[in-house]
């Protein structure tokens, strides 16, 4: 079982779009479980205050209710995830191009979306 640490945009996408291969992930990538850093939960709570984002954020918060929360804290998720990656080899799920590059430079892997399919980049 591999824990995949999700950033904010990845979770919103996961919760609000139809992901074509979500049911085949264990075949394509292996057994994964998505986990949510506390800093990302905090970002979602802040985003929920914006009227134009409210619907997607509430859908996302409901979607991730059963996900394990991990104690990565701070005020800016990308920075905290990068700090974490520099000390631990993990898979980070993100759609942020700059963040992807930095994660790969630290020797970790990235999970992302391509044409509404989840892909693993290394």
Please list the alpha-helical segments (H only) found in the chain.
8-16, 25-28, 38-47, 54-63, 77-87, 97-105
Domains held by the chain: number: 1
The token pair that represents 55 in the structure block: 């619907």
Q: In the prediction, which pLDDT does 8 show?
A: 96
- pLDDT (0 to 100) of residue 99: 95
Tell me: pLDDT of 62 over 90: yes
Domain holding 86: CATH number? 3.40.50.1010
Helical (H) or strand (E) element with 4: strand 2-6
Q: Looking at the predicted structure, is the pLDDT value of residue 23 above 90?
A: no
Q: What value does the mean pLDDT take over residues 12-41? A: 91
57-80 average pLDDT score: 95
Quick one: what percent of the chain has pLDDT higher than 70? 100
Range of the domain at 42: 2-121
Q: What is the percent of the chain with per-residue pLDDT over 90, rounded to a whole number?
A: 84
């Amino acid at each position: 079982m591999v824990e995949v640490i999700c950033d904010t945009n990845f979770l919103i996408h996961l919760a609000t779009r139809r992901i074509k291969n979500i049911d085949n992930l264990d075949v394509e990538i292996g057994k994964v479980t998505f986990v949510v850093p506390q800093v990302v939960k905090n970002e979602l709570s802040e985003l929920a205050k914006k009227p134009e984002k409210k619907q997607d954020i509430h859908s996302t918060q409901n979607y991730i209710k059963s996900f394990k929360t991990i104690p990565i804290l701070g005020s800016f998720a990308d920075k905290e995830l990068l700090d974490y990656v520099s000390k631990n080899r993990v898979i980070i799920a993100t759609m942020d191009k700059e963040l992807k590059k930095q994660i790969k430079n630290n020797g970790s892997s990235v999970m992302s979306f391509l044409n509404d399919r989840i892909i693993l980049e290394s």
